[in-house]
Amino acid sequence: MNDQTLTPEERAANLKGMGCARKRVEDVRFTQGKGNYVDDIKLDGMLFGDFVRSPYAHARVVSVNKEAALALPGVVAVLTAEDLAPLGLHWMPTLAGDKQMVLADGKVLFQGQEVAYVVAEDRYIAADAVELVEVEYEELPVLTDPFEALKSDVVLREDLEGQTEGAHGPRKHHNHIFTWEQGDKDATEAVLAEADVVAEEMVYYHRTHPCPLETCGCVASMDKVTGKLTLYGTFQAPHAIRTVVSLISGIAEHNIRVISPDIGGGFGNKVGAYAGYVCSVVASIVTGKPVKWVEDRMENLMTTAFARDYWMQGKIAATKDGKITGLWCHTTADHGGFDACADPTKFPAGFMNICTGSYDIPTAYLAVDGVYTNKAPGGVAYRCSFRVTEAAYFIERMIEVLAIKLNMDAAELRRINFIKADQFPYQSALGWEYDSGDYHTAWDKALKAVDYEGLRAEQAQRIEDFKAGKTRKLLGIGLTHFTEIVGAGPVKNCDILGLGMFDSCEIRIHPTGSAIARLGTISQGQGHATTFAQIIASEIGLPADDITLEEGDTDTAPYGLGTYGSRSTPVAGAATAMAARKIRAKAQMIAAYLLEVHDDDVEWDVDRFAVKGAPERFKTMKDIAFAAYNQAIPGLEPGLEAVSYYDPPNMTYPFGAYICVMEIDVDTGEWEVRQFYALDDCGTRINPMIIEGQVHGGVTEALAIAMGQEIAYDDMGNVKTGTLMDFFLPTAWETPNYTTDHTVTPSPHHPIGAKGVGESPNVGGVPAFSNAVHDAFKPFGLVQSHMPHDHWRIWKIASGLGMHG
């Protein structure tokens, strides 16, 4: 054997397994324009669907006249709610236990809502026909403010009138959706009443949108001969979509094949089910032809799932020397016209109850009230795990506000309140069990890396210079220590539409020692085909380059709940390791048979089983694979494959320390990020190159959100930020370079100790940027100011503080 001369280390390196900065296998296709995204799919006779959308945010639909549209050559059909009603498809269930109109059923509740669906021979004719559909509206009073909505006599959801019980308990008002309470209210109020110091603030996390570069879309193809529906689409959860389509359409689930092809970014936007999917399926059934629907950018920003829009009223109590004693939070959550949040069923406000953050806070209380308004539905986890970004922003702002009240350095305030390494597993006051962490080590490493004391000295000098009229630029130092909760999740408390949030992996070893693995997740840029092969390579000793990885085809992949909430590595990554270990267990028996020793007398060595004490007697995994297919081994079935459905015992809790140094011009409101240091601890690191790439991208999305990106409405409910002209996506020009760093605190319950990282940089990045802005103005009296901190708003802060003379 030619590899007998290699050391174990050399053999391990050849596998390109865990820890290797393996180049991505996906990139060979993508760099040549050979990706296969949904709009690249072309089927014979394919028709195009397009929507007539409401220009009003709240209106009755008096009539819809299709005649002129239907008369246009090339138009095949125009569907309205009336056409869908006999099928029971004019409404659909949402992921949050509410229901949502597929096409306007008598009224519209947000601007851009789907009113009619036009089907035509090409997309140009469809667009023409949309213009020809005549809709008569009767305007109704518009509610865009959730606080007003809770007081208003205007009923938004007339379909729910008289229903005092919602999917998540009692409804207090006709525009109220739910109240969700966690923690001990009485105890927290008692702590607040007795505290040395209480800081109180309203922290608003504005409405924004995930805005993946590829919009949402699908191709529905009903084969009338076989009765089989194939649905291609931008689905972050293809299996869940299959089940939902089956439940609402009545088509048996085995007759539905859902395929997620390459996906051009998701960030939570592509988790839910949209009207476009339902209408395309119906149109394909009606016409017998494939129907493609791909939304344009304006439709994407105006109508598919938004993120955030949380008004978080907070109170934080501490002793006079800064030990936090209690945290209270009441959140008013603006859900728009329908409650279409994508959260596990039992968590209508997601994991907002991680809002005690990285701190040992003995007593806490959280209440969230969900409210209907005349805005688009959604509330998805935009590059975060179910409202974790809101929670992290809330606590990291409250810490800063408390530091002002205590006149204490915010870095020190964090340090004295961190959960200590020896307190893990840590039970939080709001109900979570943090798996592992070492916050002090990470924090000290971060402060040292940026020379925190030096920065504070520079800032003090800058303030003096500013006051002396020598400069008009301020220096802000934005600190954040965040703790995430990802990897939903244990089936015992996490499900979506009743589907437990496990995930899966199936591995088949081929006779010649290569393999294929299929997972229940779906990559949208995370590089699963690269990294999951690395897990398998390390577990079973076959080179990652010899392992094909497939996702996204529900006819071939095992059932899984998909990719969002940083759950792929914590859940499907665990399933991958477990499936690989089943293969290794069988391989051990085969090796023992081939070596003519007892099973217990062989031991695993990188890529082979060797006889204990006689390492020159071994069988490589490649030898074993062939034997599995060509030898009759007593007591063993032929073949070498395994499947694992992994139900995680707990969430994972990645954490990190981020520091942003920002220059701010008080006269123009312009900002420049001078330095950004990101330390992440995501447990075991599978591919450092991909981890760093995730951090760069996630921090850039955080930069966008904190510094300019928003979905804004005027009083009439018009979307003011519906194109990329108004909706801020940073270019290479305003995006800084980032310094990445890490510590490694493995998850004790995950088979390979990994925790997930894709969303950490957004969760930690937003407060780091926002805190930098606040920190710059803090010496001049600023306590709290709402995001996004665009140039205009920063100018207004300076103006409001009297800094413009």
Partner 1 sequence: MSKMHVKLTVNGKEVEGLAEPRTLLIHFLREDLKITGPHIGCETSHCGACTVDIDGKSVKSCTTFVAQVNGADITTVEGLANDDGSLGVLQEMFREHHGLQCGFCTPGMITRAHRLLQENPNPTEEEIRFGMAGNLCRCTGYQNIVKAISASADILNAQEPSGSEAVGQTKVEAAE
Residues within the interface to partner 1 (CB under 8 A): 23-24, 26-35, 37, 39-40, 42, 122-124, 211-215, 262-265, 267, 294, 296-297, 524-527, 689-690, 692-694, 696-701, 723-725, 729, 731-733, 735, 737-738
Nearer to partner 1, 128 or 539 (CB): 128
Give whole-number Cα distances, 306 to 110, 147, 208, 420, 460, in Å.
13, 19, 6, 36, 40
Give whole-number Cα distances, 132 to 61, 68, 97, 126, in Å.
16, 6, 36, 10
Q: Please state the closest distance from residue 301 (CB atom) to partner 1, in A.
A: 10
Nearer to partner 1, 2 or 737 (CB): 737
- Cβ neighbours, 10 Å, residue 565: 36
Q: Which token pair is 171?
A: 């409804």
Q: Please state the closest distance from residue 100 (CB atom) to partner 1, in A.
A: 26
- Cβ neighbours, 10 Å, residue 228: 16
Nearer to partner 1, 693 or 748 (CB): 693
Q: Find out whether 51 and 299 touch, Cβ atoms under 8 Å.
A: yes
Q: Find out whether 700 and 730 touch, Cβ atoms under 8 Å.
A: yes
CA distance 155 to 149: 9
State the amino acid at position 240 in one-letter form: A
DSSP 97: S
Q: Please state the closest distance from residue 32 (CB atom) to partner 1, in A.
A: 5
Nearer to partner 1, 168 or 383 (CB): 383
Nearer to partner 1, 202 or 213 (CB): 213
Q: Please state the closest distance from residue 533 (CB atom) to partner 1, in A.
A: 16
**Torsions phi, psi for 399 (to 5 deg):** -60, -45
Q: Please state the closest distance from residue 292 (CB atom) to partner 1, in A.
A: 11
Nearer to partner 1, 644 or 694 (CB): 694
Nearer to partner 1, 378 or 765 (CB): 765
Question: What residues have CB less than 8 Å from 668, skipping those under 6 apart?
Answer: 791, 795
Longest Cα–Cα distance of the chain, Å, equals 90
State the amino acid at position 656 in one-letter form: G
Q: Please state the closest distance from residue 707 (CB atom) to partner 1, in A.
A: 14
Q: Which token pair is 310?
A: 């949380």
DSSP 387: S
- Cβ neighbours, 10 Å, residue 251: 18
Nearer to partner 1, 13 or 636 (CB): 13
Q: Please state the closest distance from residue 723 (CB atom) to partner 1, in A.
A: 5
CA distance 724 to 38: 22
Q: Please state the closest distance from residue 398 (CB atom) to partner 1, in A.
A: 28
Q: Please state the closest distance from residue 234 (CB atom) to partner 1, in A.
A: 11
Q: Please state the closest distance from residue 689 (CB atom) to partner 1, in A.
A: 5
Nearer to partner 1, 296 or 665 (CB): 296
Q: Find out whether 755 and 691 touch, Cβ atoms under 8 Å.
A: no
Q: Find out whether 661 and 772 touch, Cβ atoms under 8 Å.
A: yes
CA distance 765 to 117: 40
Q: Which token pair is 264?
A: 């051009």
Q: Please state the closest distance from residue 685 (CB atom) to partner 1, in A.
A: 14
State the amino acid at position 233 in one-letter form: G
DSSP tally for the chain: helices H, then strands E? 20, 34
Nearer to partner 1, 213 or 801 (CB): 213
CA distance 16 to 542: 9
H-assigned helices in 214-368 = 238-249, 275-287, 297-303
Residues acting as catalytic residues: 236, 383-384, 759
Nearer to partner 1, 135 or 711 (CB): 711
CA distance 466 to 468: 5
Number of alpha carbons in the 13 Å side-chain half-sphere of residue 700: 17
CA distance 774 to 770: 6
Strand ranges of the sheet holding 608-611, from the earlier edge strand across to the other edge: 602-604, 608-611, 614-620
Q: Give one DSSP letter per residue of 582-616, joined into a string.
A: HHHHHHHHHHHHHHTS-GGGEEE-SSEEEETTEEE
CA distance 322 to 335: 36
Q: Find out whether 179 and 171 touch, Cβ atoms under 8 Å.
A: no
Closest CA relative to residue 248, chosen from 84, 439, 16: 84
Q: Please state the closest distance from residue 552 (CB atom) to partner 1, in A.
A: 13
CA distance 759 to 381: 10
Nearer to partner 1, 46 or 286 (CB): 46
**Cis before 370? omega within 30:** no
Put residue 525 in one of left, alpha, beta given phi > 0 → left and psi -120 to 50 → alpha. left
Q: Please state the closest distance from residue 683 (CB atom) to partner 1, in A.
A: 21
Nearer to partner 1, 4 or 32 (CB): 32
Q: Which token pair is 738?
A: 């980032």
Question: What residues have CB less than 8 Å from 697, skipping those under 6 apart?
Answer: 761
